[in-house]
Amino acid sequence: MADRLVCRDCHRIQDSEEIEACVACGSTSLTEDWAGYVVISHPEESDIAEEMEVTEPGQYALKVR
């Protein structure tokens, strides 16, 4: 997972290093400096998704620097 980028704004993990913007929110603030991740499949039923303000299913980083 070292080659993955994470959006600093929404914490969504991006599958490709060759992208220039977040596929979820469109932000161009991406980083390789992150730790831990959670997979959210049903954000409408998830307490973690509510805490992280996640509305779309996907993989999200827990800590983004």
* Per-residue model confidence as pLDDT tens digits over 4-41: 899 999 999 998 767 889 999 999 999 999 999 999 99
Name 32's Cβ contacts closer than 8 Å, sequence gap at least 6: 2, 4, 5, 6
Strand runs (DSSP E) across the chain, as ranges? 5-7, 13-14, 30-31, 34-40, 58-64
Domain ranges of the chain: 5-64
Q: Residues 29, 43: contact at Cβ < 8 Å?
A: no
7 in a labelled binding site: yes
Query: Which CATH fold topology does 5-64 show?
Result: Rubrerythrin, domain 2 (2.20.28)
11's tokens: 């914490």
Q: What is the pLDDT of residues 6-15, one digit of tens each?
A: 999 999 999 8
64 in a labelled binding site: no
Report the residue count for the chain.
65
9 in a labelled binding site: no
